[in-house]
Chain A
Amino acid sequence: MTTTTLSAGGDLRPGRPSLVGDSLTLTRRALAQWRRDPGPLVGALAFDVLILLMFAYLFGGALQVPGGGDYREFLLPGIFAMTMLFGISQTTVAVSADAERGVTDRLRSMPVSRLAPLVGRAAADMLFAVVTLAVMLLAGLAVGWRPHGGPGATLAALGLVLLLRFALAWVGIYLGLVTKGPGAVTAVQTLEFPLGFLSSAFVAPSTMPGWLGAVAQWNPLSATVGATRELFGNPGWGGDSWVAAHHPLLAVLWPVALVAVFLPLSLRRYRALGG
């Protein structure tokens, strides 16, 4: 311990709270954490690629695309959406770790914009989602998948995938704020699988029992998967239901609805943390 005297704070001139400024600082904090500790991110990317390889080479041979077509062409839009779904637990883990370690309490005791910690988290996770999507695109091209639409359609498809991730980020933030302890986070991770598989990502809902197929069709993931299959010019699963005919519309409506519900819920929860 030195004998330097602590300045009384008279020469410190703090500015005012700002949503944009505070969010940027917190996004930079997440990026700094990743730079120092990239292990979990590399692990997540490796896991995503592994799922792709499993379905492309292990199960793919046994799976049929209704109406014909190459399974890998059918698979990749499903994989893109699935990797976005896996992002939920990444968001939830980060939010609940901050709460667990008291960082959230410290931020709430500081003059920080109330929405900034949540926006900062969502922004950082979106940056990683772009990296994830880039890696999965390359992996897809490597296993023989191709987009057949024009550049505009391809970009629109990628935009829909990221829109889904943005909506899921708010679901993840909310879950991170309401769950406590590592057990709850594990539950979120476990639930991702049935949620992801109960969709048109890997198999056609028409091959499922009637009621299950209906649930799978209405899964927000199926909307994004169906719409991006159309935009990439990849084979779809057919289907003549109203849902199947309106994939692009639902691929926009579902994420917008999720954000409209989970963003205000998250903010309310954050303000009222600890009762």
Chain B
Amino acid sequence: MEHAIITEGLRKRYGDTAALDGFDLRVPPGTVCGLLGPNGAGKTTAVRILATLLRVDAGRAEVAGFDVARQPDQVRYRIGLVGQHPAVDEALTGRQNLVIFGRLFHLGRAQARARAGELLDRFGLVDAGDRPVRTYSGGMRRRLDLAAGMILAPSVLFLDEPTTALDPRGRNEVWEAVRDLVRTGTTVLLTTQYLDEADQLADRICVLDAGRVVAEGTPDALKSRLGGDRIDLVVRDAGDLATAAGRLRRVATAEPDVDPDRRAVSAQVDDRAGALTEVLRALDADGVTVADVTLRRPTLDEVFLRLTGRPASTERTDDTEEVPA
């Protein structure tokens, strides 16, 4: 099998809105593909179609070598789905949940029990296994949810925004569990709104906008294309704005954005701390009072602005660009 996931020209409309508008994707086995995009870009629609939950209007999709529309049951034995909210029973114990899902995958009673024990161990939930899920932390719930998606050791796992609403600790727990799964050869399709999540987990990132892929490449290739971190500066006096922009221009990798209303200048930099120190020293020498300064990662909006030349929420363009790896 050359690709674990193949989609060709997928289209799906809801009324007047095209959720997917010619979505093409190829994911090699054993890799993690990150689908990155804002709300409404079509990420969840794509996952729901690939997980046999939703019918397409046009196009074709194959998962683990089977057509999702014509051979849904073959696909269902070979995939795991972990959605945006843990799909487990709060009242039942972690073990009960896993045994029930194992039985629903048609494992025998003994095998379902054995598998539940194995997965609890695998996801670090042995001690909590016999407690009701409602006593679990957010990260533990997600790990149980991952375990439920792994009952048949599926060859393809769909993770739809797996760390939404998790604190940083829970997020790290889930990332760690996902990395472990990938080591065993599972192909993962991950949707996320967070650049750093895709960066942490994905071998390749596809940026989705208005139902189609607008850029794809390795995280490094995308990042170098997007430039590194950004410095945001706010000056106290509007008259100093031009000076601040000039100083920032010297350390920036691209022309700074100036926002006169907020008296703010923002620019991408390569050498984070060095650039920040240099700019602040220079402005101090110029006698410019800096009201606020931030060093941060680009937001999804800025990624979109860079890739599509417009903010994330307006209508789509037709050019799909390939970023060289």
Chain A residues within 8 Å of B, Cβ to Cβ: 1-2, 4-9, 12-18, 21-22, 25-26, 28-29, 32-33, 36-37, 101-103, 105-112, 273-275
A33: chain B residues at CB < 8 Å are 89, 91-92
B3 CB to closest chain A CB, in angstroms?
19
Closest residue of chain B to A272 (Cβ to Cβ) is B55
The interface residues of chain B lying within 8 Å CB-to-CB of A5 are 184
Any A CB within 8 A of the CB of B31: no
Q: Does B118 contact A (CB under 8 A)?
A: yes
| Dominant secondary structure of chain A at its interface with chain B | loop
Cα–Cα distance between A155 and B96 once the two chains are bound (Å):
37
Could you show 15 A-B contacts with beta carbons less than 8 Å apart? A1-B176, A1-B180, A6-B181, A8-B184, A8-B185, A9-B154, A26-B104, A32-B96, A101-B85, A103-B87, A103-B88, A105-B87, A107-B104, A108-B52, A109-B81
B122 in complex: contacting residue of A4, A18, A21, A29, CB < 8 Å: A4
Taking the complex as formed, is B115 at the interface, i.e. its CB lies under 8 A from any CB of chain A?
yes
| B104 contacts A105, C-beta separation under 8 Å | no
Provide the residues of chain A in CB contact with B77, threshold 8 Å: 14, 111
With A4-B121, A14-B77, A37-B91 already in contact, the answer to whether A273 and B105 are too (CB < 8 A) is: no
Q: Are B53 and A110 in contact (CB under 8 A)?
A: no
Given A1-B123, A106-B148, A107-B104, A8 contacting B118 (CB threshold 8 A): no
- The reply to whether A2 and B122 contact each other, CB–CB distance below 8 Å, is yes
Report A-chain residues with C-beta under 8 Å of the C-beta of B81. Answer: 105-106, 109
Given contacts A29-B100, A36-B91, contact A8 B153 (CB under 8 A): yes
A113 to chain B, nearest CB (A): 10
Contacting pair A1 B177 (CB below 8 A) = yes
Residue from A9, A37, A107 in contact with B152 in the complex, judged by beta carbons closer than 8 Å: A9
Residues of B within 8 A of A17 (CB): 73, 106
B103: CB under 8 A from chain A? yes
10 tightest Cβ-Cβ pairs between the two chains A and B: A9-B153, A102-B87, A15-B106, A37-B91, A111-B76, A109-B81, A106-B87, A36-B91, A102-B83, A109-B51
In the complex, given contacts A102-B85, A109-B51, what are 11 additional A-B residue pairs having Cβ atoms less than 8 angstroms apart?
A1-B176, A2-B122, A6-B118, A8-B185, A13-B108, A13-B111, A101-B87, A109-B52, A109-B53, A111-B106, A274-B54
Cβ of B84 < 8 Å from any Cβ of A? yes
Beta-carbon contacts under 8 Å, B102-128 to A: 103-108, 111, 115, 118, 121-124
Residues of B within 8 A of A28 (CB): 100
Q: Which residues of B lie under 8 Å from residue A15 when comparing CB positions? A: 106-108
Whose C-beta in chain B lies nearest to the C-beta of A26? Answer: B104
For A14, list chain B residues within 8 Å (CB): 77, 105-107, 152
Residue B263 CB within 8 A of the other chain: no
Query: A residues within 8 A CB of B149?
Result: 106
> Which chain A residues border B115 with CB–CB below 8 Å?
12
Closest to A103 in B: B87
List of A residues within 8 angstroms of B54 by Cβ: 274-275
Interface membership of B194, Cβ < 8 A: no
* A10 to chain B: closest residue by CB: B153
Contact with A110, one of B48, B76, B122 (Cβ below 8 angstroms): B76
Does B86 count as interface, using CB distance less than 8 angstroms?
yes
| B124: chain A residues within 8 A (beta carbon) | 1-2
Interface size range of chain B in the complex: 35 or more
The proximity string for B residues 293-313 relative to A, scoring 1 for CB distances below 8 Å and 0 otherwise, is 000000000000000000000
Inter-chain contacts of A29 with B (CB < 8 A): 89, 92, 100
With a CB–CB cut-off of 8 A, which chain B residues contact A16? 106
Count A-B pairs with CB separation below 8 Å.
119
Query: Which residue of B has the minimal Cβ distance to A1?
Result: B124
Q: CB distance B85 to A22 under 8 Å?
A: no
With the chains together, A127 CA to B184 CA distance in Å?
43
Residues of A within 8 A of B180 (CB): 1
Q: How far is the CB of A105 from chain B (nearest CB, A)?
A: 6
Which of A15, A29, A109, A112 counts the most B-chain CB atoms under 10 A from its CB? A109
Q: Which residue of B lies closest to A100 (CB)?
A: B85
Nearest-neighbor residue (CB-CB) of B179 within chain A: A1
Residues of B within 8 A of A1 (CB): 122-124, 176-177, 180
For B86, B105, B149, which residue has the most chain A Cβ atoms within 10 angstroms? Answer: B105
| Smallest Cβ-Cβ distance to A117: which chain B residue | B104
Interchain CA distance A57-B234 in the complex, whole Å: 75
Give chain A residues whose Cβ lies under 8 Å from the Cβ of B176. Answer: 1
Contact with A along B38-68 (1 / 0, CB 8 A): 0000000000100111110000000000000
Q: Is B79 close to A, CB under 8 A? A: yes
Question: Is A32 a contact partner of B92 (Cβ separation < 8 A)?
Answer: yes
B101 at the interface (CB under 8 A from A): yes
Chain B residues near A2 (CB-CB < 8 A): 121-122, 124
- Residue interface bits B136-173, CB-to-A below 8 A is 1, else 0: 00000000000011101110000000000000000000
B157 to chain A, nearest CB (A): 11
Considering only CB atoms, which chain B residue lies closest to A39 in the complex? B91
Indicate whether B132 reaches chain A with its CB closer than 8 angstroms: yes
* Nearest A residue (CB) for B93: A36
- How far, in angstroms, from A109 to B158 measured CA to CA in the complex? 11
How far does the alpha carbon of A74 sit from the alpha carbon of B184 in the complex, in Å?
68
Closest Cβ neighbor of A102 among chain B residues:
B87
Min C-beta distance of A204 to chain B, whole Å: 43
- Which residue of B89, B107, B150, B184 contacts A103 across the interface (Cβ within 8 Å)? B89
Residue numbers in B under 8 Å from A103 (CB-CB) = 87-89
